[in-house]
Structure 1
Amino acid sequence: MNGELVLVALIIIGLIGRSPIITTAACILLIVKLLTLQRYLPSIERRGMELGLLFLTLAVLVPFASGRVQTKDVVSALTSWVGWVALAGGAVAAYLNSRGLEMLKLDPQLIVGIVIGSIVGILFLRGIPVGPLMAAGLTALFLKIIQLLAGK
């Protein structure tokens, strides 16, 4: 029953905060629970991020498939300083994602803070929840900085 109450609270928070992603996700999970389809929750947990990243990647690559981005655009992006900064940003993000995944494997209870922090970011900062791994990567970076500053 506790899980259902949390999901209802997330639905309400999502509605108040005008976050259709949180509202929809919580609704889907509540339906899964109410229809006693809990046996699918581990599969959703295990494969959900992969599917989400797949669809996010598909959306990002559509301009290539549709022809809106052409070879000259790629060459231009890779020969400009802005393109090099974007390349560095992508590389750093991928590195942070790997550190985040590593940290979540070692300390899975951090996901609670990451989820709540993501909800706060969505509701109050108008953020978009595309990356629990990136949130975990940033958490790992912040923890490392704090450890360095604290001398531990």
Structure 2
Amino acid sequence: MQAIIALLLIAGVSAVLKDYMLASAALLLVGVCLVRYAPVTAMLQKHSFHVGIFFLMVFLLFPLTNSKVDILGTVKQLITPLGIFAILMGFAISYIGGKGVGVLSTQPVVLFGVLLGTLVAVLLVKGLPAGLIIAAGMVALIQLATPS
């Protein structure tokens, strides 16, 4: 029941702040909680991350389908300082995000902390929820570096 109330609260605040995608996601999960059909719940939990990453990759690769993009020219620009910096940042952030996935599933306090921070950013300053995994990865790296 706590999950349904939290999800309804997220959906309501999201709708008021006109973030209909977040509101829709929260309402979908309210439906999942209400139905409690284990196979659907397990399937959504198991595959939603990978499906989301797939569609993110489609979005990122889509400019290649546009004839306005000069692929050879863009590849040449990868050896410029900006291109090299972009490669390094892509590597670093992907590495950090990879660390974050493990933390999200094993440490509820990190999950809810970065979720709350992400929700506030999405709802109040037009942030993107992609930061959640990266934030969790940063927490994981700090935990590794901090003596217990």
**Take 1:25 and 1:106, find their aligned partners in 2: how far apart are those partners?**
22
Q: Which TM-score applies when normalising by structure 1?
A: 0.82
Distance verdict in 2 for CA 1:27–1:38, change over 3 Å: farther
Partner Cα separation in structure 1 for residue 70 and residue 50 of structure 2: 28
Opposite residue 95 of structure 1, the aligned amino acid is: Y
1:1-152 to structure 2, matched below 5 A, reads 1-143=1-143, 147=146
Deviations 1:14-40 (A, max 9, x none): 112322221010111122333443542
Instruction: Give 1:9 deviation, angstroms.
Output: 0.7
Deviation at 1:88, TM superposition (A): 0.7
Deviations 1:17-73 (Å, cap 9, x if unpaired)? 322221010111122333443542222122111111110110110111233333323
Q: Which amino acid aligns with 2:112?
A: V
Provide the C-alpha distance between the structure 1 equivalents of 2:39 and 2:109, rounded to a whole number of angstroms.
22
Q: Whole-Å Cα distance in 2 between the matches of residues 25 and 33 of structure 1?
A: 12
Q: Which moved more, 1:109-118 or 1:86-95?
A: 109-118
- For residues 101-125 of structure 1, the C-alpha deviation after alignment (integer angstroms, 9 at most, x for no partner) is 2333543442121211211111223
* 1:22 alignment partner AA: L
Deviation (angstroms), 1:98:
1.9
Contact in 2 for aligned 1:32/1:38 (Cα 8 Å): no
What is the Cα-based RMSD across aligned positions, in Å? 2.3
Identity %: 23
The alignment covers a number of residue pairs equal to 148
Gapped regions of structure 2 (runs ≥ 5):
none
Which amino acid in 1 is paired with 2:26?
A
Q: Distance in 1 between matches of 2:143 and 2:15?
A: 32
Q: Distance in 2 between matches of 1:142 and 1:124?
A: 27
Mapped contact 1:97–1:133 kept (Cα < 8 A)? yes
Report the CA distance shift for 1:4/1:126 in structure 2 as closer, same or farther (over 3 A): same
Q: Is the 8 A contact 2:64 2:71 kept in 1?
A: no
Stretches of structure 1 lacking an aligned partner (at least 5 in a row): none
